[in-house]
Amino acid sequence: MFTTLDDRNLLSFSVNAGLTVHQPFAGRDSDVFGLGFGVAQVSGAAANFDQDIQLFQPEVFTPVQGAETFLEATYQWQVLKSVQIQPDIQYIINPGGDREPQRPDAEGQERAGARRENEHHVLKRGFGFDSGGPFAQNC
Surface-to-core class of residue 114, CB atoms within 10 Å of its CB (0-12 exposed, 13-18 middle, 19+ buried) = middle
Structural domain tally of the chain? 1
Q: Does residue 6 lie within any of the structural domains?
A: no
Return the higher-pLDDT residue of 24 and 104.
Answer: 24
Return the higher-pLDDT residue of 8 and 48.
Answer: 48
Q: Does residue 2 lie within any of the structural domains?
A: no
Q: Average of pLDDT values for 65-77?
A: 91
Q: In terms of residue numbers, what domain contains 105?
A: 11-135
pLDDT at residue 127 is higher than 80: no
The answer to pTM > 0.75 is: no
Q: What is the pLDDT of residue 99?
A: 66
> What average pLDDT is seen over the chain?
76
Q: Average of pLDDT values for 9-34?
A: 91
Q: What is the pLDDT of residue 129?
A: 43
